[in-house]
Amino acid sequence: MVKVRDLGLGFNSDEIVLFKYCSGSCHRARSNYDLTLGSLLRQKLIAPGPQERVLSHPCCRPTRYEAVSFMDVENTWQTVEKLSAAECSCIG
């Protein structure tokens, strides 16, 4: 549960909404790509740039989203599409 203004999307509202997110480990779902990338990174045969972060394992990410509706301080209903996670899966 978070205040709408804390979402960082510029909405002025004191309402509290349910923000669902994905978390967890996906190491058991590693593909040949993940194994190869991990090996190449460990051997330093490839190196990410200074501003890059390369992950050699799948990430738990939303695969389906839900819209969230709330009333702002002007008493106007606002709806933000694809805000809250509805389903999660290992991606990558």
Answer whether 39's CB lies under 8 Å from 12's CB. Answer: no
pLDDT tens-digit readout, 24-62? 888 777 778 888 888 888 898 888 888 787 777 778 899
Cα separation, 90 vs 82, in Å, equals 18
Given a cut of 80, whether residue 92 has pLDDT beyond it is no
* Contact assessment for residue 26 and residue 92, using Cβ atoms and an 8 Å cutoff: yes
CATH number at residue 35: 2.10.90.10
Residue 15 has pLDDT above 80, yes or no: yes
Q: What is the mean pLDDT of the chain?
A: 89
Q: What percent of the chain has pLDDT over 70?
A: 96
What range defines the domain where residue 87 resides?
2-91
Full-prediction pTM beyond 0.85? no
Domain count for the chain: 1
